[in-house]
Structure 1
């Protein structure tokens, strides 16, 4: 199927069936498209909508985002995961604000900003600025891989290079923004990872994977790799005023910049730390092991629940360790598993039964 026919069929389908009521499709601007594209990395549309609306309500402009404290940005991101995205969003907002609030107008300049790659830059410039720029997000990779029956894992550099060439070949000079959204929509709603709806696909006539019976085999999965397991102990400590001890994580790394529970590699280190702080633990309880899976490893952790009757400091280590009231945890930037843990064990019912 020639590129022109591919474009025509796709855009005709988008005009009739494409999604046009998503919040970032309203009042389109480089800022709104940029924030939505970052949120949509590794995250489903349904999960992003509420986060995007809350984020825009609090940070309606790039200057609002640049002027905000990172803690507040992370608080509005908490639960979306991959927190480096939020930190890079904040850094980039500050760079753009310093440059008078003007967004770059080339893929190269956009890609030089923290957290923005070639595909994200292309999406912003095509959707918000009308430029003819190719993209290659997960949905577009899947559509092109099936349409051309491209074998190999799409993350492999040689396969990726071929898919970029195809994406550039099919991107039209006109209506590039609509075409970009149409490709993402096609992958998200019809050419899905499982149970694709091939029967109503507008480009089925040229799809090689469909013709060869390979739709369910393509794209090929990443070669299997056993994820390593890391272990940790989290101290869930409550004082006699029902406050919870939280520490601020370092600015980089896993959960960077978020508030979390004191974490230890093993139980003896936890005990030594409490001795150094002068904490006398009351009725320490070892809770059931839990697992949180990151993209590159499993974290198996054991919560140690205890009370302490002699917290000496309310703010320690330059404000990086603080006693918080349980009701305040909903307003902090907390990693999702830590927030669930605290909500599980520090409810009013828990107080009533164990207070």
Structure 2
């Protein structure tokens, strides 16, 4: 097992991907240490999101809030607005909670301990292991989707996910070395992302081609097997877009808990099978032909878009008007921005 791990580290030394939060293997071996704050932020952002999507956001956040102290002192609305478009907004709320806990309880220093990291808001077993390994070079076992796929193929494991997760994690743990565990963790993830890909794996270029049991059996392309997913349900809702005569738009802050929690959005109905109308004020509402369509993790959302123009004295039952110069569609979560994209032509033409 040690020889296999050393083979992968040698491959990583020559093929490591460049990432804003990563210390290259040669620099790390020469004494350059990762910034735990940058590693933590990357891991929070990478939950349910691709590396390609995260790069720009990570650079932006590090420029706006370069230290955990800066993040802890940040205005919630500013962080939520900067997060817009990255999805899974509970992560942004946990980003703030965790930063404030690190400052308040740990003197602004991320703990170099897996068990203590687990006590921080928004940090689960995978994220704690990743931070401990990558930031502090501790021999924790880091298992994401890439690692699961690599382990399933390396050991030719045919039990479907998620049932096989414990076995795959145990296999990954066997391979985690005491030497350079942080580089090794990143090496396995890079291998899965660039060589041992979900489709058409490049087995001929793989450093583990020889020991790979699935390669020998000719089963690599069909692994890992997965339990069929249930059909994704569809929920419906109504989004109300109101514009005053002076150009101001009516927005409301969504409840802190739940989907898009704490984000700005259009007043709307509950989301369900048959939403009840819930207009924020009395107006001559126009129902647009196009629906806003968005997919969350567990359901598809279809929003009927209703538009109204009102005079400058109009009072809303909920939400508040945002002056036209202060309105930034880019600060809206993606689902709400889709609503605006549909409503905007009508607003301009009425």
Instruction: Give me the TM-score of the superposition, normalised by structure 2.
Output: 0.90
Deviations 1:71-108 (CA, angstroms, capped at 9, x unpaired): 11111111110111111111111100102112122211
Q: How does 1:132-147 map to 2 (within 5 A)?
A: 132-147=139-154
Instruction: Work out the CA distance in 1 between the residues paired with 2:231 and 2:325.
Output: 39
Deviations 1:187-219 (CA, angstroms, capped at 9, x unpaired): 111111122211101001111222222222111
Instruction: Work out the CA distance in 1 between the residues paired with 2:344 and 2:302.
Output: 21
Task: Give the total of aligned pairs.
Answer: 337
Match of 1:290 in 2: 292
Q: Is the 8 A contact 2:87 2:333 kept in 1?
A: yes
What SS does the aligned partner of 1:302 have? strand
Structure 1 gap ranges (5+): none
Q: How does 1:207-246 map to 2 (within 5 A)?
A: 207-246=212-251
CA RMSD of aligned residues (A): 2.1
Instruction: Work out the CA distance in 2 between the residues paired with 1:291 and 1:285.
Output: 15
Instruction: Work out the CA distance in 1 between the residues paired with 2:276 and 2:124.
Output: 43
Deviations 1:157-195 (CA, angstroms, capped at 9, x unpaired): xx2211221111101101111111111111111111122
What SS does the aligned partner of 2:128 have? helix
Deviations 1:219-262 (CA, angstroms, capped at 9, x unpaired): 11242201122110111111111221111000010000001111
Match of 1:88 in 2: 94
What SS does the aligned partner of 2:277 have? helix
Q: Is the 8 A contact 2:238 2:277 kept in 1?
A: no
Q: Is the 8 A contact 1:284 1:307 kept in 2?
A: no
The structural deviation recorded for 1:332 is: 6.6
Structure 2 gap ranges (5+): 24-32
Match of 1:337 in 2: 335
What SS does the aligned partner of 1:289 have? strand
The structural deviation recorded for 1:344 is: 4.7
Q: Please, which moves more after superposition, 289-298 or 75-84?
A: 289-298
Instruction: Work out the CA distance in 2 between the residues paired with 1:13 and 1:214.
Output: 23
Q: Give the alignment partner of residue 46 of structure 1, picking from 46, 52, 63.
A: 52
Match of 1:8 in 2: 6
Instruction: Work out the CA distance in 1 between the residues paired with 2:276 and 2:143.
Output: 48
The structural deviation recorded for 1:268 is: 5.6
Q: Give the alignment partner of residue 128 of structure 1, picking from 96, 120, 135.
A: 135
Q: Is the 8 A contact 2:292 2:335 kept in 1?
A: no
What SS does the aligned partner of 1:288 have? strand
Match of 2:22 in 1: 25
Q: Is the 8 A contact 2:8 2:207 kept in 1?
A: yes
What SS does the aligned partner of 1:287 have? strand
Q: Is the 8 A contact 1:326 1:346 kept in 2?
A: no
Match of 2:173 in 1: 168
Match of 2:252 in 1: 247
